[in-house]
Structure 1
Amino acid sequence: MTRYAAFLRGVNVGGANMKMTDVAAALTDAGFTDVKTILASGNVVLESGTTAAKVRTKAEAALRDTFGYDAWVLVYDLKTVGAVAEDYPFEAEVDGYQSYVTFVSDSEVLDELAALADDAGPDEKIARGDGVLYWQVPKNSTLDSTIGKTMGKKRYKSSTTTRNLRTLAKVLK
């Protein structure tokens, strides 16, 4: 059995609203074990004996069937999530700034997002990682940042999801 982090896109942050206990029940009913939700923004740790790709497909189907919304889930084994967090290229805790990781499942989309570094404002930092985009912006400017404005476009919804570095630390505990 492998421990996975399943990151649900757009849950309880302006998208689909649901109780995490109901999410955990739906995923348990779908056959996953040791399902645990972290915070209320679509972070789930679970166990499965199959691949991350199959976990994603099965989790998306379970959430669509249970909650009736267009569910997008990005799934990574916990070792990968740990490596992503450890590789954060900027100082993680900077007063007045938010530190983010955007997980990207489509390499073409990752290329597009990484190219935004050229358009970043003077207070924004953007760096490409292995299957992720690292970024840091001043607090209260996330949605107005180069990445924040782009992320909301429909093209990116099925293949990206962003987490604060502090959230990843909680997922990894």
Structure 2
Amino acid sequence: MTSYVALIRGIGPGDPRKSNESLRGVLEGLGLDRVRSVLASGNVVFESGSRSPAKLADRIEAAWPEELGFSALTVVRSRAQIAALLDAEPFGDAAHGKASYQLVTFFRTALRSAPTPPEGLAGVEVVGIVDGALCTIHDTTLTGGPEVMKWIDQTYEKQTTSRTPLTLRKILAKMDA
């Protein structure tokens, strides 16, 4: 069995259809094993005998409207992929904070080339791409977080979901528990 995480876009507390319990119920209904939530923001870890994260993402994403009545982009990554991304240390020794807010943006299809932030979006640095995920760091005291997310959403037509390295470490810890 391989340990995976489903990274689900647009999940937050407040909508009972998108509660951790509801999300876990859908994955359990699909026959996935050891289903567990991480935080209340669309991170569900599980195990499967499947070797294809893309096929798992297709199955899970198709289940949201059928089971819970909403659509949500879903990206699936293996434990090995999350560990390798964190081990690559794309942000170097920069501390995560307001002046150096680190963000990893995931895509269903691996990103091949890094975008250039638009002029006028100060304090944003594209660090690079690790395993198809876009790594950015920005100074929220100059840009605010929403401006960076708006740029990413507009550039990729909301076909992304983002997490901080801090959240990815929590996901990895849950996978190892």
**Which TM-score tier does this pair reach, normalised by the shorter chain?**
0.7 to 0.9
Structure 2 residue aligned with 1:157: 158
Amino acid across the alignment from 2:76: V
Does 1:123 find its partner at 2:126?
no
Contact 1:120 1:126 in 2 (8 A): no
Amino acid across the alignment from 1:22: S
Tell me the matched-pair count: 167
Instruction: Tell me: CA distance 1:154–1:63, structure 2 relative to 1, closer, same or farther (3 Å).
Output: farther
Structure 1 unaligned runs (5+)?
none
Structure 1 residue aligned with 2:68: 67
CA distance in 2, matches of 1:16, 1:157: 23
1:93 to 89, 92, 95: 95
1:52 Cα offset (Å): 0.9
Structure 2 residue aligned with 1:166: 166
Amino acid across the alignment from 1:44: V
Contact 1:34 1:47 in 2 (8 A): yes
1:105 Cα offset (Å): 2.7
TM-score, length of structure 1 as denominator length: 0.84
CA distance in 2, matches of 1:17, 1:116: 36
Contact 1:27 1:63 in 2 (8 A): no
Instruction: Tell me: CA distance 1:40–1:95, structure 2 relative to 1, closer, same or farther (3 Å).
Output: closer
Amino acid across the alignment from 1:106: T
CA distance in 2, matches of 1:81, 1:115: 22
Structure 1 residue aligned with 2:45: 45
Instruction: Tell me: CA distance 1:138–1:56, structure 2 relative to 1, closer, same or farther (3 Å).
Output: same
CA distance in 2, matches of 1:15, 1:138: 31
Q: Deviations over 1:84-128 (max 9, x none)?
A: 122232234244232110112335x653xx222474744222122
TM-score, length of structure 2 as denominator length: 0.82
Instruction: Tell me: CA distance 1:142–1:13, structure 2 relative to 1, closer, same or farther (3 Å).
Output: farther
Does 1:105 find its partner at 2:128?
no
Q: Deviations over 1:120-162 (max 9, x none)?
A: 74422212223011111123611113xx22233395323x211
Contact 2:107 2:133 in 1 (8 A): yes
1:82 Cα offset (Å): 1.1
Instruction: Tell me: CA distance 1:154–1:13, structure 2 relative to 1, closer, same or farther (3 Å).
Output: farther
Identity %: 29
Structure 2 unaligned runs (5+)?
none
Deviates more, 1:131-140 or 1:114-123: 114-123
Does 1:142 find its partner at 2:175?
no
Structure 1 residue aligned with 2:20: 20
Amino acid across the alignment from 1:98: Y
| Cα RMSD for the two superposed structures | 2.5
